[in-house]
Structure 1
Amino acid sequence: MKKLLCAALVGALMTTYSAVAADFSKKPYGPVYDNAITENVVGKVNIHPVSYTVDGIRVAANVYTPSGYDPKKSYPAIVVAHPNGGVKEQVAGLFAEKLAGMGYITVAADARYQGASGGEPRHTDKPANRIEDINGMVDYIRTYPGVNANEIGALGICGGGGYTLGAAQKDPRIKAVATISMFNSGRVRRNGFQDSQVDTIQQRLAQAAEARTFEKEGDVRLVGAMNITDEQAKKLPFALYRDGFFIDVLRNPVCFNVLSA
């Protein structure tokens, strides 16, 4: 399974990075990447919108089945975790579709509190939740018709990569793991981006503990609102955050739950 997954990922990488964003208004299943599935055709990779629950919260997901899929046959499966701030219709769905084209049954799901999945408050991204979301994908896909429950792998992208490693550590049902541009959310929240906040770890842990106390009392504390000027954005010390601000945040300001620390 490990060799097969690695070989599949190499092939997917070679064909995926050439894809570009496309007009998603004509895509009934939601995927926004170029050449995404617009209709299910017999004999080709098909997409199946599904839903299930994780800890009582509804999860919206897409299952991709390979060409010539026969539910009576046995297929290996791969769960695909999207990046922080991403949804299943973007890069996670693209990789899920490419891997399905290589013979895998795959699933890409919106994390709870995000995308089309349920949960309040919206846009919450807690590492413990994201890890459990990946284990929840395994719960679901292992019983999908045709899936060999003994051959399940996991692919995590960016932030989803770090969470996937966390999920695999406690879930022996995941037989192989691969990541793409993995972002270690635990280390970044603890040490700061590129270890830039090591001197304030105890201070931020105290803030996180205080935030937990307030949250239990019904007062959710948010930090990190990117409501800054262009000049302030230009002075951000890291290109990743600086470029990300100009690309996305100017259109859609966001906050992060302080408990992510």
Structure 2
Amino acid sequence: MITSIISSAQTTSKNPFGLVYGGAITENISRKLNIHPVTYKLNGIDIAANVYTPAGYDPTKKYPAVVLAHPNGGVKEQTTGLYAQRLAESGYITITADAAYQGASGGKPRNVDKPANRIEDIHGMADFISQYPGVDLNRLGVLGICGGGGYTLKAAQGDKRFKAVATLSMFNSGEVRRNGFQNSQLTTIQDRLKQASDARAQEAAGAEVIYTGLVMPTDEEIAKIPTDLYREGFIYYYRTHAHPNSTFKYTLSSLLDLMTFDAATNMDLIIQPLLMIAGSKADTKYMTDEAFVKASNAKTKELFVIDGATHIETYWKPKYVNQAVTKLVNFFDQHLQ
């Protein structure tokens, strides 16, 4: 199984922009789709981002734009880069940035993974791209993938600059860190909160920062993982689409914030059009279902299910990516044009 997945996925390890997704842009050519690595400050932290501009981009004209938030452990060069490029091919200016404290962005200690930071990252991308030449602030959308999808829901609840809201394979980071994946750790919640509290106390005392998620499984160990999400996720992140800045490592003290967070609360605050996409075989689909039903005040809402797709397959597998992109372009065209 591992061999078949590795051989059929495309990795671009020598891409000049560091991109590791299939069909990634390799050079900027006049009048063609271009990629622009940029940096900007967010609350004093240097943020590393990529902006994609469509073919024939003219900074004197006005274009719709989409902000993209990456998955947990991911970076801008992986699946959000793929979707940012595909949306730019359809005429959108897009931006995807590495989360603060992660990837190529600044912030110490490294790999802090707090919901408030990830939500602020999305607001920060909106701040930056709204000032980018050619962007029409009145036609700004947002797309979050996996954990970035959960944080996108929270960001859009308050940030009405986003005129259309979409998620792909949404992952409710707080629910999973608290209850365990598929509610598998309900009996250890208080113990894990105590461990996170102790880790924060150790950091406050100036001692070593404690990290979790440091595992580096072998191919044989990966093959034995029972859940598609984690088995295919390890293959995606550590084998077929590996990037040196991508890691599942995060500070143990982050669990204080993660375990008390829930992406599906206050969904009634989303009044914008809402599109949520998930694979029919995704073992994470229950999180999309939980959030979708609570979006009672969305101007319009649609749950689009990609038949046969697992969670990770929506990141890279062409037949599923093509379906998601077609749906996203139709959605954003309808609500941002």
- So what's the TM-score if we normalise by structure 1? 0.82
Post-superposition offset of 1:73: 1.2
Which residue in the other structure is 1:223 paired with? 212
Which residue in the other structure is 2:308 paired with? none
For 2:248 and 2:60, locate their aligned partners in 1 and report how far apart those are by CA, in whole Å.
45
Which residue in the other structure is 1:201 paired with? 189
For 1:105 and 1:248, locate their aligned partners in 2 and report how far apart those are by CA, in whole Å.
26
The CA deviation string for residues 193-244 of structure 1, in whole angstroms up to 9 with x for no partner, is 1111222323323333333333222332323432678887676553433454
In structure 2, the CA distance between the partners of 1:209 and 1:171, relative to structure 1 (3 Å rule), is: farther
Partner AA of 1:108 in structure 2: T
In structure 2, the CA distance between the partners of 1:234 and 1:103, relative to structure 1 (3 Å rule), is: closer
In structure 2, the CA distance between the partners of 1:132 and 1:24, relative to structure 1 (3 Å rule), is: same
Structure 2 residues not aligned, in runs of 5+: 1-7, 260-337
2:103 corresponds, among 115, 118, 127, to 115
Bigger relative contact order, structure 1 or 2 (CA pairs below 8 A, ≥6 apart): 2
In structure 2, the CA distance between the partners of 1:45 and 1:236, relative to structure 1 (3 Å rule), is: closer
The Cα RMSD (Å) is 2.6
Structure 1 segment 46-57 matched on structure 2, within 5 A: 46-57=34-45
In structure 2, the CA distance between the partners of 1:223 and 1:179, relative to structure 1 (3 Å rule), is: same
Identity %: 60
Q: Which moved more, 1:138-147 or 1:210-219?
A: 210-219
Post-superposition offset of 1:254: 5.3
2:250 corresponds, among 246, 252, 256, to 256
For 1:76 and 1:121, locate their aligned partners in 2 and report how far apart those are by CA, in whole Å.
36
For 2:170 and 2:201, locate their aligned partners in 1 and report how far apart those are by CA, in whole Å.
31
Post-superposition offset of 1:137: 0.5
In structure 2, the CA distance between the partners of 1:229 and 1:31, relative to structure 1 (3 Å rule), is: closer
Which residue in the other structure is 2:68 paired with? 80
SS in 1 for 2:23: coil
For 2:160 and 2:85, locate their aligned partners in 1 and report how far apart those are by CA, in whole Å.
25
Which residue in the other structure is 1:177 paired with? 165
For 1:193 and 1:160, locate their aligned partners in 2 and report how far apart those are by CA, in whole Å.
17
Structure 1 residues not aligned, in runs of 5+: 1-18
Which residue in the other structure is 2:307 paired with? none
For 1:105 and 1:44, locate their aligned partners in 2 and report how far apart those are by CA, in whole Å.
13
Q: Which moved more, 1:208-217 or 1:40-49?
A: 208-217
The CA deviation string for residues 85-112 of structure 1, in whole angstroms up to 9 with x for no partner, is 2111111111101101111110011112
Which residue in the other structure is 2:291 paired with? none
For 2:151 and 2:36, locate their aligned partners in 1 and report how far apart those are by CA, in whole Å.
25
For 1:100 and 1:184, locate their aligned partners in 2 and report how far apart those are by CA, in whole Å.
27
Q: Which moved more, 1:194-203 or 1:84-93?
A: 194-203
Partner AA of 2:45 in structure 1: I
In structure 2, the CA distance between the partners of 1:29 and 1:150, relative to structure 1 (3 Å rule), is: same
Post-superposition offset of 1:34: 2.7
For 2:28 and 2:78, locate their aligned partners in 1 and report how far apart those are by CA, in whole Å.
19
SS in 1 for 2:10: coil
For 1:99 and 1:255, locate their aligned partners in 2 and report how far apart those are by CA, in whole Å.
30
SS in 1 for 2:31: coil
Post-superposition offset of 1:135: 1.1
For 2:183 and 2:122, locate their aligned partners in 1 and report how far apart those are by CA, in whole Å.
27
Post-superposition offset of 1:132: 1.1
